[in-house]
Amino acid sequence: MSGDKPKPAPSSRPACWARALADAFRRHPTLWPFTAMVVLLAWNVLFTPNFMNFEVHEGRLFGSVVSILQKGAPVMLLAIGMTLVIGLGGIDISVGSVMAMAGTVTALLIAGQGLPAPVAVLAGLGVALLAGAWNGALVTFVGLQPIIATLVLLMGGRGIAQALTGDQNVPFTSPAMEYLSTRPLLYLPIPIFIVLGAAVVVLLALHKTVLGLYIEAIGGNAKAARLAGLPVHGVRLLVYAFCGLCAGLAGVINTADIQRADVANCGLYLELDAILAVVIGGTSFAGGRPYLVGAIFGAIIMRMLTTMLLMHNVPTEKTLIVKAVVAIAVCLIQTPAFAGFMGRLRLGRARQA
Amino acid sequence: MKLPRKHVALLASLGVYVFLYAAASVYYADRNFFTPDVFLNFLRGGAVLGIIAVGETLVILAGGIDLSVGAVMSLSSVVIGMLVMEAGLPPAVAIPAAVALGGCLGLAMGAIIHYVDIKPFIVTLAGMFFARGLGFIIHLESISIEHPAYTRLVSLGLPLGGGHTLALTAVIFLAVVAVAIYVTRYTSFGRNIFALGGSEEAAVLMGLPVGRTKMLVYTASGLCAGLAGAVLTFDQSSGTHGAGVGMELDAIAAVVVGGTLLTGGVGSIVGTLVGVLTIGLLREVIVNYVGNLNSGMTSLAIGLLLLVFVLLQRFMTRRGAGAV
């Protein structure tokens, strides 16, 4: 190798860019789901006809993108709560059933008792909050593994809802609930703002209060956190209860959308979508740092896949396989094994050069 | 004398089962509840869930979890329906093919879990979506199976004397249980499963074949799910997509009720047999004897049962840990 020859500048510049980019991705894992989302969006803009069509009807914006955000709102809400729970090193597989419980209680109070919608919604949210607190208590005070503790409510929660309604759907008419699902706010459906509000509240709590630090500490090493004098029990209880509340909000939105409580299907299997969204978002199952924005991107990706395949006339049933492949691929990219593999590739290339 | 932990759990499960059975027998004495035929019917009705739960037990004993079993079961039944009715293959070819497909899916998930080191929960969750999607790609609707060999198979049974017969599906279920008991108790693979579930780190340090054991366990679970799909086609004479929905949760509940710890390393196949029978008993009594067709009551009852057992286990393990 001739050392006196100066390196050509154009070839070193891209390498430098690539390294900076790789560094950025390593430091901000949220870039992975963000990139995936942008790529998916770009693909849709190019290859899905009518994807970027927008029209305004009665002061409300319509279009695929808006509908993705609106239909994805329940999963986004679930993902917000789930991110915190998984960040703590736990998991909540009962959120789908809690959705059904909250929706059922709301619908029953409106249809059966004739209560005004806001009161009924508050009651539904209260039930969801209690359900979350119950999960948290089982995990915290009884010391159950989170997956078992929440499995109980996953099996029993929908059972309670079905027992309450006698396994019937509960239709209701309520202008306020209709307003929630159909009327726009600043041209956009209201659920989008509920998601936005929840996300902002959680982000502020994570970054502007000590709560974020507590969650990271407990998720990283619960024992060490306890020995350091952190309120481990209180934080756990709070986070599980909040996750229940998010599920309740999702349940109310779903119920308002279809104007009835669909006990058998409300939130069915949505816990899985939410968990996948959180994992795609970069939050590690081992606990530690919660990546909230990533989880919301993850939820949008899942919904966008469904909408996109529907617009290409692929039946909903077959979209499952695409979801599976995307989820595994994104997980694969985030594993240390993959990083090591890429590292070896880079090393090999460096050695060849 | 101190009983080992797993025997305490097993005895508790057995006690609850015997108590529930006795209570039902007394309460429904006028409807001939306490007869051999009713019990044989329980074995038959529990066969599909039971075979899945046996595979799930192996996975949970090894410290993992398999959420894909229900979907793999549906897939297997649809594949059998497709091969028999549309490809015109005899059931003798179609059934082993479907079971093998289940095993392959299990092996693939086990390999991802071991080599890439992604959590079993996530991998088998994706596996569940994958298997369900694959089923719909193979055939969008459920297929009813009409084949002379099938009609003959369905009517087969093991005569027990006294005019009682054990249905073919129950025979398969008990055979799977027997094989699994043998494997877990008398083979080195079985000991490796317990070691791996007890502490993966220790198993690695002892030089046990951790990777092979892990992959084999998920393969076995996939094979069981595939076989359960075949048994399902015997029962319903069709390959159906809907049957496996929620089956993974029932299977996990059966395993836990049977005294196997979800943390791995402690439990037994016999316990799972008891757990499957207990859940079957609850469902049967609520639906057919109480006459409550509200499916909510059944899942509420199973949820409560699960809660009781989980609390019981927690209490026992805490005491066990305190004694050490």
Domain boundaries, chain A: 61-313
Contact A328 B123 (CB under 8 A): yes
Q: What is the DSSP letter of B3?
A: -
Instruction: Look up residue B238 and give its amino acid.
Output: S
Strand pairing partners for A185? A188
Question: CB of A219 within 8 A of CB of A50?
Answer: no
pLDDT over threshold 80, residue B290: no
pLDDT at A3 over 50: no
pLDDT (0 to 100) of residue B291? 66
Cβ pairs bridging A and B (under 8 Å): 142
- SS3 for B163? coil
The backbone torsions φ and ψ at residue A157, rounded to the nearest 5 degrees and listed phi first, read -60, -50
User: What's the confidence (pLDDT) of residue B6?
Assistant: 60
Q: pLDDT (tens digit, 9 = 90+) per residue, A311-349?
A: 887 777 777 787 778 777 777 776 766 767 766 766 666
Average pLDDT in the B231-256 region? Answer: 84
ipTM for the whole complex? 0.76
User: Burial, A335: exposed, middle or buried (Cβ in 10 Å; 0-12, 13-18, 19+)?
Assistant: middle
Within chain A, residue ranges assigned H as helices are: 9-27, 31-47, 64-71, 73-87, 95-111, 117-137, 146-165, 175-182, 190-208, 211-220, 222-227, 232-258, 270-280, 292-311, 316-334, 336-352
Element spanning A61, H or E: strand A60-62
Separation CA B324–CA A221 (nearest Å): 24
pTM: 0.82
Kindly report the backbone phi and psi dihedral angles of residue B176, in degrees, each rounded to the nearest multiple of 5, phi listed first. -60, -45
Residue A31 confidence (pLDDT): 80
Q: Average pLDDT, stretch B19-33?
A: 84
List CB contacts (< 8 A) between B297 and chain A.
159, 162-163
pLDDT value, residue B213 = 93
Select A61-313's CATH number: 1.10.1410, 3.40.50, 3.30.1390, 1.10.3470: 1.10.3470
Higher pLDDT, A69 or B293: A69
Q: Which of B249, B246, B270, B250 is nearest to B259 (CA)?
A: B270
Nearest-CB residue to A145 (from B132, B262, B302): B262
Residue B88 zone, left/alpha/beta (φ > 0; ψ -120 to 50; rest): left
Q: Give the pairing type, strands A260-261 and A188-189.
A: unpaired
Residues 6+ apart with CB under 8 A from A164: A104, A105, A108, B296
What value does the mean pLDDT of chain A take? 83
Over residues B82-98, the pLDDT tens digits come to 998 888 888 889 999 99
- Please report residues of A whose CB lies closer than 8 A to that of B125: 272, 275-276, 327
CB–CB of B126 and A321 under 8 A?
no
Q: Which residue has the tokens 């093991």?
A: B158
pLDDT at A133: 95
If you average pLDDT over every residue of chain B, what do you get?
86
Confidence of residue A353 (pLDDT cuts 50, 70, 90): low
- Residues from chain B that touch A320, judged by Cβ atoms under 8 A, are 129-130, 132-133, 136
Question: How close is the nearest chain B Cα to the Cα of A196, in Å?
Answer: 27
Place of tokens 């317990």: B194
> What is the pLDDT, as a whole number, of residue A258?
84
Contact between B136 and A317 under an 8 Å Cβ cutoff? The reply is yes
Q: Which residue of B has its CA nearest to A263?
A: B296
Mean per-residue pLDDT for B14-32? 86
Q: How many CB atoms lie within 10 A of CB B124?
A: 30
pLDDT tens-place string over residues A118-147 = 889 999 999 999 999 999 999 988 888 888
Closest alpha carbon to A292 in A205, A202, A192:
A202
CB burial class (10 A; 0-12, 13-18, 19+) of residue B291? exposed
Q: Which of A191, A164, A123, A187 is nearest to A261 (CA)?
A: A164
- The reply to whether residue B116 touches residue A332, judged by beta carbons under 8 angstroms, is yes
The strand ranges marked E within chain B are 143-144, 157-161, 164-167, 238-239
- What is the band of B4 on the pLDDT scale with cuts at 50, 70, 90? low
Q: How confident is the model at residue A68 (pLDDT cuts 50, 70, 90)?
A: confident
DSSP output for B107-167: HHHHHIIIII---HHHHHHHHHHHHHHHHHHH-SS-EE---HHHHHHHH-EEEEETTEEEE
Selected residue with higher pLDDT from B2 and B263: B263
Q: Report the pLDDT averaged over residues B130-135.
A: 88
DSSP string computed for B201-240: HHHHHTT--HHHHHHHHHHHHHHHHHHHHHHHHHHHSEE-
Tokens describing residue B154: 């369905």
CA distance A41 to A250: 25
Kindly report the nearest CA distance between residue B300 and chain A, in angstroms.
4
**Which among A143, A318, A324 is the nearest to B314, CB-wise?**
A143
E strand or H helix at A123: helix A117-137
Q: Quick: pLDDT tens for A80-131.
A: 999 999 999 888 989 999 999 999 999 889 888 778 888 899 999 999 999 9
The H or E element that residue A284 is part of is none
- Measure CB to CB from residue A145 to each of B132, B263, B296 and give the nearest one: B263
How far off is chain B from A8, nearest CA to CA, in Å?
Answer: 39
Out of A144, A275, A332, whose CB is closest to B125?
A275
Q: Where do we find the tokens 């952190």?
A: A230
A143's torsion region: left (phi>0), alpha (psi -120 to 50) or beta? left
Burial class of residue A309 in the structure, from the number of CB atoms within 10 Å of its CB (0-12 exposed, 13-18 middle, 19+ buried): middle
Measured from the Cβ of residue A102, the count of other Cβ atoms closer than 10 Å reads 35
Torsion of CA B23, B29, B34, B39, to 10 degrees: -80
Q: Which CATH class is domain B5-22+33-318?
A: mainly alpha
Task: Of A11-15, A251-255, B45-49, B161-165, give the lowest mean pLDDT range.
Answer: A11-15
Residue among B134, B262, B306 minimizing CB distance to A147: B262
Phi, psi of A89, deg, nearest 5: 90, 10
Sign of CA dihedral B210, B216, B222, B225: negative
Residue B45 tokens read as 């009705």
